């Protein structure tokens, strides 16, 4: 579930109006910003540390982008993966698919888990500028078997198209084994995070989807109103 101040979020609350993603998948969604500025480099000065520094900057920015409760989601997501039994390549593949193949930690000589730790450190450093005593909550992965099953059920109809688009993209690195990786995140780490990774990949590769069923499942996770809807290639339109 999306974290709130002690309760699940209400759908379409005023503070949720412009929230189109949260946590680790919000950082992944920044691939579109990176791609836009890569196409127009003269209009965007890049960090001296290169792409890795740019992505770590997004982790810091998450603190400023959201209210405190939603800003905490990044720490939750990172720990849900780090404390899971998922192998390195599964985490890397799920992340790579969510970023349209535009940010692969391996290109910078680090593992996916090392990238997660660095992102968490950047986020914590920024959060502690405002509150030096800030301590993240322990991870609360969604392990409900019914929710896991229902996420897998919505992934299945899109699996063939999503796999094809990820393996043969118009730009970005090809991603092999994306759907099995997403399914393992759902079943071995967290149903909520696995679902958001799936949604992010569907939007990245513009795979047609039945918005109604995806929105209905998102409501069960307590997602902000636009988290599922924004950027989705709705085949029912």
Pairwise CA distance, residues 18 & 26, whole Å: 12
- In Å, the largest CA–CA distance within the chain is 49
pLDDT of 10 over the 50 cut: no
**Residue 61, pLDDT score:** 85
pLDDT confidence tier of residue 8, bands split at 50, 70 and 90: very low
pLDDT of 35 over the 70 cut: no
C-alpha distance across the termini of the chain, in Å: 28
Closest Cα to residue 57, out of 128, 118, 147?
Answer: 118
Helices (H) and strands (E) in the chain, counts: 13, 0
pLDDT in tens, 146-162: 999 999 999 999 999 99
**Residue 69, pLDDT score:** 65
pLDDT confidence tier of residue 63, bands split at 50, 70 and 90: confident
Question: Could you give the dihedral angle defined by the CA atoms of residues 108, 112, 114 and 116, in that order, rounded to the nearest 10 degrees?
Answer: 120
Element (H, E) at 67: none
Pairwise CA distance, residues 30 & 75, whole Å: 17
Contact status, residue 31 vs residue 99, Cβ threshold 8 Å? yes
Pairwise CA distance, residues 191 & 197, whole Å: 10
Quickly list DSSP for 138-167: PP-----HHHHHHHHHHHGGGHHHHHHHHH
pLDDT in tens, 78-134: 999 999 999 999 999 999 999 999 999 999 999 999 999 999 999 999 889 988 998
**Average pLDDT value for the chain:** 87
pLDDT of 13 over the 50 cut: no
Collect all residues with Cβ–Cβ distance below 8 Å to 65 and sequence separation of at least 6: 26, 71
């Amino acid at each position: 579930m999306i974290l709130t101040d002690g309760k699940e979020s209400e759908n379409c609350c005023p503070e949720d109006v412009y929230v189109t993603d949260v946590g680790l998948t919000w950082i992944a969604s920044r691939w579109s910003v990176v791609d836009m500025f890569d196409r127009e480099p003269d209009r965007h000065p890049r960090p001296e540390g290169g792409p890795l520094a740019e992505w770590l900057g997004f982790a810091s920015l998450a603190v400023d982008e959201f209210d405190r409760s939603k800003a905490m989601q990044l720490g939750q997501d990172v720990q849900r993966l780090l404390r899971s039994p998922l192998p390195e390549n599964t985490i890397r593949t799920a992340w790579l698919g969510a970023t349209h193949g535009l940010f692969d930690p391996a290109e910078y000589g680090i593992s996916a888990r090392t990238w997660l730790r660095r992102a968490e450190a950047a986020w914590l450093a920024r959060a502690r500028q405002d509150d030096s005593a800030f301590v993240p909550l322990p991870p609360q992965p969604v392990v409900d078997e019914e929710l896991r099953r229902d996420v897998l059920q919505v992934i299945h109809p899109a699996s063939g198209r999503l796999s094809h688009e990820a393996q043969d993209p118009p730009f970005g690195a090809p991603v092999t084994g994306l759907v099995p990786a997403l399914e393992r995140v759902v079943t071995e780490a967290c149903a909520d995070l696995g679902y958001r990774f799936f949604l992010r990949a569907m939007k990245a590769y513009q795979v047609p989807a039945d918005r109604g069923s995806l929105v209905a499942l998102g409501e069960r996770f307590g997602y902000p109103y636009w988290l599922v809807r924004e950027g989705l290639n709705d085949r029912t339109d």
